[in-house]
Amino acid sequence: MLSVEINVDGLNLNARQAFGLLQQIQPELARQTVSEMKTAAGPAIRSVQARIPEQPMRGWMHRGRTGWLTQNPRSAVRADFTRGRVNTSTRDTFPLLTIVQPTAAGAIFDLARNPQPPSRDRRGRRRTDTQNRAFVNNLATYGPPSRSMWPGVLAAIPEVEAALAVAVKSMETALNARLD
């Protein structure tokens, strides 16, 4: 995890304080910085996208809520910028960028594993989980759960951290120039 401390006019600020100050002083520079940070997450996004298959497994080509055709999971992966919601367990750290897979099909591909015990339908009959088991067994050919997001982001962390450090340094320089 990249630790960010920003020196503005002799004061050491955390990233949340610095973004708040930047937003007040120069909102367009704040938007540009957010854009640079999202661009810095590009290697992680590409790494995650490379782990998601282009063509879905048989039976997944539908446009329902969990369908592959509703929104392609590969193209839906994105970086979200957070302005510093503090994690309650560690108040000194918070995420600046999160890599998000917003589609149901992408989340299912990434995390599906063995189904729960057989469930019951509306009439109380036990449903057969043959299709569920076959689906999960097919997913297992791509690896264990957390098939795309976690390994993809971990593989790209050094590149992303380096690019984020450059973006934060440029923000620090711009803030100091504006305040002088």
Q: What is the mean pLDDT of residues 64-85?
A: 82
Looking at per-residue confidence, does 36 or 130 come out higher?
A: 36
pLDDT in tens, 41-56: 999 999 999 999 988 8
Give the lowest-confidence range in 76-80, 90-94, 99-103: 90-94
Query: What is the chain's mean pLDDT, rounded?
Result: 79
Q: What is the mean pLDDT of residues 12-21?
A: 72
**24 and 31 in contact (C-beta within 8 Å)?**
no
The whole-angstrom separation of Cα 101 and Cα 107 is: 7
Q: Quick one: pLDDT at residue 1?
A: 45
